Structure 1
Amino acid sequence: MTLCFATNNANKLAEIAALLGDQFTLKTLQDIGCFEEIPETQATIPGNSRQKAEHVWDHYQVNCFADDSGLEVDALDGAPGVHSAYYGGHPRSYERNLNLLLTNLKDQTNRRARFRTVITLVIDGQYWSFEGVAEGQILTEPRGTGGFGYDPIFQPDGHDRTFAEMSMEEKGDISHRGKAFAKLVAFLKELPPTT
């Protein structure tokens, strides 16, 4: 099956291509001729995910999936949440986002947090949603050089390394995105071959 992944994030594309394997043909937004910035104006992670998938389906009539993810920190009442990508302002900067989060948590002892991903799949105008959550804590300083975004300061429960200290495969097995995409792939495998 050919699907478009509605993202311009090369890191996400590489991560998801590794998870999907060769049973699906993954197209990028550029592959389908979509060069505009897809709006993300909803107040929630599920809302943004659906908005992106709807945009591709409405404008290009291409079966696709879109994800939206966020880091929810308990001590910050769930922030940065839906604003995770631009937490430190525009333009997007992973380093600025990470530094602002560490600054805002400087005096906090509660460092519980979770990454949440919601994927919206649209096939022939029908919509499905899949969610993945990775629980963990925010460290006081970055560790590791892999991954992207907040990965260097997020240590998932049951592990002594951050996402940035793990290989892409290790992270994929336990990450929020990995869990959500596992649900997506399981669903896609159950679809009739004619779809």
Structure 2
Amino acid sequence: MAFFNKIKWVLGILMVFVLIITTNLIDRNNFLRVKDSVTTIYEDRLIANDLIFEILSPVHEKEVAIALSDSSFFSNKNAVINSNIQGFIKQFEQTKLTREEQAVFSDLKRNISDLKVAETAYVDSGFSNKNEVLSQISAVNKNLYELSKIQLNEGSRQISISNRAIETVELYTQIEIYFLIFLAIVVQIIVMYNPKKKGVDESE
């Protein structure tokens, strides 16, 4: 009977061990999903949205300068602003881009490049021909708006992923509690089970 008792205890301990390992793996997977979502929201959405604003602000300065025909802006300040914009563009390239975002971002880079050409033509025209440069600024603003909306949508999607992972953790926690109760009963049955010995003849 000593060997049979050892088997019962081993089975009981194994069941507990398997449960603990399984629930830990599930919880770890869901924790990583939450962590990745939070990281993505910060690194690839909030930072990206800040960079969009950093590009939008100097583009608006250009627009005001053109509206006022401010020649000193293009003589003294525009080159520095263009350099800053390129720096923000390079930083934006380091974020994780979705397929839609990559298409809009490529269009933005092309429109910014075309804007520089239009600015040169605008200066060469004696600040008289505004149509082309304003058209390019409008295209850049449209790209920046589209990228900003993508950040909002992707941020919302990542929050949804995080919430689903948290809900899954809560669900498995409840299941785990019920299963532990069931397992405790099963272990008790295994440990307390004691089969009767066979045929001992009754005394006359």
On whether the aligned pair clears a TM of 0.5, the verdict is no
- Larger strand share, 1 or 2: 1
- Larger helix share, 1 or 2: 2
TM-score of the superposition, structure 2-length normalised?
Answer: 0.23
TM-score of the superposition, structure 1-length normalised?
Answer: 0.24
